[in-house]
Chain A
Amino acid sequence: MSNFLTSSIGKKVVMSLSGLFLIMFLCVHLALNLLLIFDNSGELFNHGAHFMATNPLIKIVEPVLALGFIIHMVWACVLTVQNQKARPSGYKKSSQSGNATWPSRNMFILGGVILIFLGIHLYNFWWNIKFPELGTPLSMIEIDGVEMEDTYTLVVGLFRSSICYCLLYILGAIFLGLHLSHGFWSAFQSIGFSNQIWRKRLEFVAYLFAVVIGAGFAIIPVYFLVGLGN
């Protein structure tokens, strides 16, 4: 295994595996978020959030998830710098639009935009939940005899109070979908899981997955934007 991680293919394997790990997280995150629009009383979502906050397994996975994000970002930076260096002087005229899809050519930019969104997103919710003494403290609520943080009010409060945040979260979901439209199938290609038959299948699943994740996350702010969650 010597030099594997520093080789071009090894670095892509790291991107692929960290990406697939983050994709799994996105699925769990979306499933939980969708509880927001299935119950306007907020009990379902609060139960879900409380379960995530108190589950010991989640406590273990949380730092691993942070590590997954960091690895994915650091490796992306290393790969991009190397790729930029590989062509010291560029073309005067280059028309690449017919050769490759826009997301595939702009994964680093899309990733950067998602990172900015992630920062805002963490500040909006995670910060207040984890450090209530530094941010806005969460009010407590009792559901079925269990006292828990009223995460629903925090999340829904943001969407109800600000059209700008709603639009920002919709935009974030679109960028995430675009990133996944290439990232999903590319992750399989990088670990060698593709051939004539599977490539078509993976590309199809990637687009489907990108639409499900993008639309899934976008539908929540849209739900509150159109007033269905009031």
Chain B
Amino acid sequence: MADTILKELTLKIWRQKDAKSKGGFETYKVRDISTGTSFLEMLDILNEQLVSENREPVAFDHDCREGICGTCSLFIDGRAHGPDDDVTTCQLHMRRFKEGATITIEPWRSGAFPVIKDLIVDRHAFEKIQQAGGYVSVNTGGVPDGNTIPIANDKAEEAMDAAACIGCGACVATCKNSSAMLYVAAKVSQFALLPQGKIEAARRAKAMVAKMDELGFGNCTNTGACESECPKSISIEHIARLNREYIKAKLKD
């Protein structure tokens, strides 16, 4: 499909000077945007325009721009990572928007993810959960040793599906309860399914859930909104596994 030009788009963007400022929406116009432009490139064009007008550019997170780093975020027109399924914002292209459209762009909203500036939120809460137990501390040896442990293909595949989590926070952003269960479930699952990770499975589940609760994330009500917005299509079946792992661990206490 040949790219066309969107003559004019209206952007309603959340602007906030810093973490302490109140913030509010500001409206901008961008013109002559090719439909082949990525959403972040469109924001780059807006920023160039703002800089040339001596105005403060819009701050937003971005890094790899190929959907694997989990840095980009944005709640676009009421959906995490925009209207496309299974993609991050950097993989979203302007062909998804119509000529003359008004696009509302907001930061992730969660008490555990405070806004630092404009569209950037502090996602350190995820790091803290990870530090609480999202690792394997047993000595698993080098690569040849690792390969000597037989792992069933379906288990390896399932663990890999969970490990696909890039920690972008779309699950928290989209969940009506701001629950981080899908993230924690993915991190717990990727290890719990493998022999090297099973050894510390109980401690891991307890520590990560305790940290998640402490940081003020909400409680999961199984709506499934997280899995439909997850750019890596991580299933809430992993949440069932986390529940199992946690209950099992607590029963042994």
Q: Which residues of A come within 8 Å of B, CB atoms?
A: 1-4, 7-13, 79, 82-83, 85-96, 98-101, 104-105, 107, 182, 185-186, 189-196, 199
Contact = CB atoms under 8 A, between A and B. Distances in A.
A4 B212 CA distance: 14
B77 A1 contact: no
B229 interface: yes
Contact of B218 (A7, A86, A94, A182): A86
Nearest to B236: A189
Given A92-B104, A105-B176, A9 B216 contact: no
Contact of B78 (A9, A94, A105): A94
B243 A190 contact: yes
Contact of B240 (A4, A86, A194): A194
A193 B220 CA distance: 15
21 contacts: A8-B212, A11-B219, A12-B220, A82-B218, A82-B219, A85-B111, A85-B216, A85-B218, A86-B111, A86-B112, A91-B109, A92-B25, A95-B78, A99-B79, A100-B228, A104-B224, A189-B236, A190-B243, A192-B243, A192-B244, A195-B240
Interface in B186-200: none
B149 interface: no
B119 interface: no
B243 A191 contact: yes
B75 interface: yes
B228 A8 contact: no
A22 B229 CA distance: 32
Contacts of B212: 8
B99 to A, nearest CB: 20
Of B178, B223, B239, which is in contact with the most chain A CB atoms at under 10 Å from its CB?
Answer: B223
Given A8-B213, A83-B218, A96 B243 contact: no
Contacts of B25: 92
Given A86-B178, A90-B109, A192-B247, 6 more contacts: A89-B109, A92-B14, A105-B176, A189-B239, A196-B235, A196-B237
A9 B246 contact: yes
A93 B14 CA distance: 12
B123 to A, nearest CB: 15
Nearest to A5: B250
A100 to B, nearest CB: 4
Interface secondary structure of A, over-half rule: loop
Of A87, A98, A107, which is in contact with the most chain B CB atoms at under 10 Å from its CB?
Answer: A87
A7 B236 contact: no
Contact of A192 (B111, B221, B240): B240
Nearest to B181: A8
Given A83-B177, A192-B240, A88 B221 contact: no
Interface string B163-183: 000000000001011110100
Nearest to B85: A98
Nearest to A107: B221
B106 interface: yes
A12 B104 CA distance: 34
Contacts of B112: 86
A3 B210 contact: yes
A88 B243 contact: no
Contacts of A85: 111, 216, 218
A191 B240 CA distance: 7
A104 B223 contact: yes
B106 A100 contact: no
Contacts of B179: 8, 83, 86
B222 interface: yes
A83 B178 contact: yes
Contacts of B240: 189, 192-195, 199
